[in-house]
């Protein structure tokens, strides 16, 4: 704390949606602090509050994977912005999926509203932070060639910093550097759109078939002047000659239900959600085997009821068998070629097929995300239990984090016209050539002139090469919860160090704490209880009354 003034100094490193959520939570509780709060926000990115993922300058081809009807990031009580759909200056279709840039503009407006109201003294510092060190009186930051602080509290909300490439990608980077072959990231998409203007007639491979792949496909098609009409793709003539998406299993994710009415058919009953919450309360304090058993026991009756309601009757043994496979080998239950799985997913999302066990489980799991986070993120899990539950959640993302139905239908239209080929999509062999990459599977092979990387790096703190995270890892101030897990944090975000000690005032929120928290990739998590717990911890450590949150009618009372 700065002892030369009557203020408590706080630093937030990173101001995307999660940093904004933290600022809003702190502003809500600031009147409970014993001293005025002064916040310095460090982020060189110009779109404050939105960050790169929701950059207002991003291509309109990049869509959220959440329809308007499910976007529940209500503004705090003090805000004048209202909800996202109400803030927009146009009517919205509740079943449509908005561009990420639109949401970015809304988040910028929320930040401007917060600062304009003067609830917190906020200073924006545009230099990146190079180093965080502990000093007398708190924490010192080095940014832009100057020292800042000391700060009583430092919060890291840096999203996904740059990491050291995995061996495959490192080899490809060397190859591209030596030969001039084209290797590029998916984002920012507006940069990719400009690059793709020179790829007419080339073959483009896409590494990864998750949500980013759909953005890349739109960049390569509608971003080059083509259009979709009545289930067909009408080419502009400026597209690549061929597009080759691939992944480890080659299976496209399943789209979400097309309408609110279809989606409501997967709503769990309140009693079922209560039973799941009770199961999670047991699971987070249990061994991995017990956690699996109690979560499975909570899922089975819900899935059986929903399948029967959809005339897709499955007995309890079939559901148990599917779930058993999901815990140990997610994704192995689906049968069929990638185009067949794509068509099945479209039919399921349209309600033209009775739901499969997996589709029903995925939709229920999506609707239980708040209950999942509420139990998991407020607990201190044993590493192996954390790894087990986290793996189950990650596997189900092919259903619970699925794309818009329109995106899946666009992929099918591109298959129909021959612009996209999925015959080499399942973990193909990849050889480096003088001009690019050769993908092969069985007797089939194809030469790719361009490789677009659409894979999100895992939150492995040991691979991060960006400051200040790299320095904090090297100093033992950020340590993983366990093998294959990310940073070990307390429920209020405080970091544990390599000696097993909490570091008061040094906190981290977001996907870099995966394992200590779950489902942190969700936009809703940025504005949920994680931000509240951090703000309450700050006020409590500064001697205020953050613990009285529940009795404060001005507090937004976030769910997780």
Residue 481 in tokens: 């919860």
Domain boundary among 379, 398, 417: 398
Which contiguous run of DSSP H or E holds residue 17?
helix 17-29
Examine residue 89 and state whether it is found in any structural domain, yes or no. Answer: yes
Q: Tell whether 365 and 470 lie within a shared domain.
A: no
Is residue 556 situated within a structural domain? no
Q: How far, in Å, are 14, 247, 304, 497 from residue 455 at the CA level? A: 22, 9, 35, 30
One domain, residues 117 and 31 = yes
The Cα-based distances of 42 to 88, 299, 507 in angstroms read 28, 43, 15
Q: Which domain holds residue 288?
A: 261-398
Number of Cβ within 10 Å of residue 458's Cβ equals: 14
- Across 350-365, b (16+ Cβ under 10 Å) vs e yields ebebebbbbbbbbbbb
pLDDT score at 543: 86
Q: Tell me, yes or no, whether 227 and 366 share the same domain.
A: no
Q: Are 466 and 161 in contact (CB under 8 A)?
A: yes
| Cα separation, 74 vs 297, whole angstroms | 33
Same domain for 17 and 153, yes or no, is yes
User: What is the number of structural domains in the chain?
Assistant: 3
For residue 514, give the nearest of 481, 491, 490 by alpha carbon: 481
Q: How far apart are CA 350 and CA 434, in angstroms?
A: 45
- Shared domain for 193 and 245, answered yes or no, is yes
| 3 domain-assigned | no
With both helix axes pointing from N to C terminus, report the angle between 17-29 and 100-117 in degrees, rounded to the nearest 10.
30
Which one of 422, 453, 484 terminates a domain?
A: 453
Neighbours of 25 (CB within 10 A): 28
SS3 of 416, please?
A: helix
For residue 85, give Cα distances in angstroms to 72, 329, 405, 538, 547.
Answer: 10, 39, 20, 32, 32
Helices first, then strands: H and E counts in the chain: 19, 18
Say if 560 falls within a structural domain.
no
How do beta strands 153-156 and 502-508 pair?
A: parallel
Which tens digit of pLDDT belongs to each residue from 240-258? 999 999 999 999 999 999 9
pLDDT of 312 reads 77
Averages of pLDDT over each 10 residues, the chain, 560 residues: 68 98 96 91 97 95 93 90 90 93 97 93 96 96 96 96 92 95 96 97 97 97 97 98 97 97 97 98 98 98 94 87 97 94 98 96 97 95 97 97 96 98 97 95 96 94 95 98 95 97 97 95 92 96 62 46
pLDDT value at position 559? 55
Length of the chain: 560
* Residue with the two structure tokens 């924006």: 124
The pLDDT assigned to 545 comes to 57
**d(C-alpha 214, C-alpha 216), whole Å:** 5
Q: What is the CATH number of the domain that holds 490?
A: 3.50.50.60
Taking the C-alpha atoms of residue 20 and residue 361, their distance in angstroms, rounded to an integer, is 32
CA distance 127 to 123: 12
352, 381, 398 — which closes off a domain?
398
- The pLDDT value recorded for residue 160 is 86
pLDDT score of 560: 60
Both 183 and 279 in one domain: the answer is no
Q: Are residues 472 and 534 in the same domain?
A: yes
Count other C-beta atoms under 10 Å from residue 136's C-beta: 7
Structure confidence by residue, pLDDT tens digits, 153-187 = 999 999 989 899 999 999 999 999 999 999 999 99
In which element (H, E) is residue 109 found? helix 100-117
Please check whether residues 176 and 87 belong to one and the same domain. Answer: no
- 23 with 156, same domain: the answer is yes
| Residue 337 lies inside a defined structural domain of this protein | yes
249 and 361 within one domain: no
Buried/exposed code over 94-112 (b: 16+ C-beta within 10 A; e: otherwise): ebebbbbbbbbbbbbbbbe
Helix axes 383-395, 316-328, angle to 10 degrees: 110
Q: Is residue 67 part of a domain?
A: yes
Residues 220, 292 within the same domain = no
Q: Are strands 138-143 and 129-135 parallel, antiparallel or unpaired?
A: antiparallel
- Do 387 and 492 fall within a single domain? no
Q: How far apart, in whole angstroms, are the C-alpha atoms of residue 322 and residue 330?
A: 9
């Amino acid at each position: 704390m700065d002892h030369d003034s009557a203020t408590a100094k706080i630093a937030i490193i990173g101001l995307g949606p999660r940093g904004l959520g933290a600022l809003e939570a702190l502003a809500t509780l600031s009147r409970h602090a014993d001293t005025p709060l002064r916040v310095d926000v460090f982020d060189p990115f110009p779109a404050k509050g939105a960050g790169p993922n929701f950059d207002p300058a991003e291509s309109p081809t990049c869509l959220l994977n959440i329809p308007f009807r499910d976007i529940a990031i209500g503004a705090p009580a003090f805000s004048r912005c209202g909800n996202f759909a109400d803030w927009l200056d146009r009517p919205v279709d509740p079943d449509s999926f908005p561009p990420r840039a639109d949401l970015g503009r809304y988040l910028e407006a929320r930040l401007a509203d917060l600062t304009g109201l003067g609830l917190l003294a906020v200073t924006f510092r545009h230099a990146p932070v190079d180093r965080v060190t502990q000093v007398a009186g708190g924490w010192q930051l080095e940014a832009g060639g100057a020292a800042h602080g000391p700060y009583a509290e430092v919060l890291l909300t840096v999203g996904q910093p740059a990491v050291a490439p995995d061996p495959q990608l490192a080899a490809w980077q060397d190859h591209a550097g030596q030969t001039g072959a084209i290797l590029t990231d998916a984002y920012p998409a507006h940069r990719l759109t400009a690059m793709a203007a020179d790829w007419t007639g080339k073959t483009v491979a896409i590494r990864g078939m998750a949500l980013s792949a759909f953005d890349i496909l739109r960049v390569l098609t509608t971003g080059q002047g083509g259009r979709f009409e009545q289930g067909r793709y009408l080419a502009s003539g400026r597209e690549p000659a061929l597009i080759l998406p691939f992944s480890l299993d080659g299976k496209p994710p399943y789209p979400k239900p097309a309408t609110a009415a279809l989606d409501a058919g997967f709503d769990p009953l309140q009693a079922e959600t209560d039973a799941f919450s009770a199961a999670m309360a047991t699971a987070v304090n249990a061994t991995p085997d017990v956690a699996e058993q109690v979560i499975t026991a909570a899922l089975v009756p819900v899935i059986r009821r929903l399948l029967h309601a959809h005339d897709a009757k499955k007995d309890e043994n079939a559901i148990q068998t599917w779930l058993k496979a999901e815990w140990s080998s997610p994704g192995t239950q689906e049968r069929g070629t990638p185009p067949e799985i794509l068509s099945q997913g479209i039919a399921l999302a349209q309600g033209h097929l009775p739901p499969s066990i997996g589709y029903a489980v995925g939709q229920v799991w999506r609707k239980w995300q708040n209950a999942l986070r509420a139990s998991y993120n407020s607990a201190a899990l044993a590493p192996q239990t954390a790894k087990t539950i986290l793996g189950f959640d990650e596997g189900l993302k092919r259903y619970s984090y699925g794309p818009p139905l329109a995106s899946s239908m666009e992929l099918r239209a591109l298959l129909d016209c021959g612009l996209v080929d999925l015959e080499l999509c399942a973990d193909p062999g990849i050889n480096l050539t003088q001009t690019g990459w050769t993908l092969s599977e069985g007797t089939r092979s194809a030469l790719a002139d361009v490789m677009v990387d659409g894979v999100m790096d895992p939150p492995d703190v040991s691979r991060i090469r960006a400051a200040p995270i790299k320095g904090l890892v090297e100093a033992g101030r950020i340590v993983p919860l366990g093998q294959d897990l990310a940073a070990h944090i307390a429920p209020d975000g405080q970091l544990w160090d390599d000696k097993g000690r909490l570091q008061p005032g040094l906190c981290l929120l977001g996907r870099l704490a995966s394992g200590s928290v779950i489902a942190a990739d969700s936009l809703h998590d940025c504005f949920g209880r994680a931000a509240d717990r951090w703000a309450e911890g700050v006020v409590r450590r500064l001697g205020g009354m953050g613990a009285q949150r529940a009795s404060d009618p001005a507090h937004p009372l976030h769910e997780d």
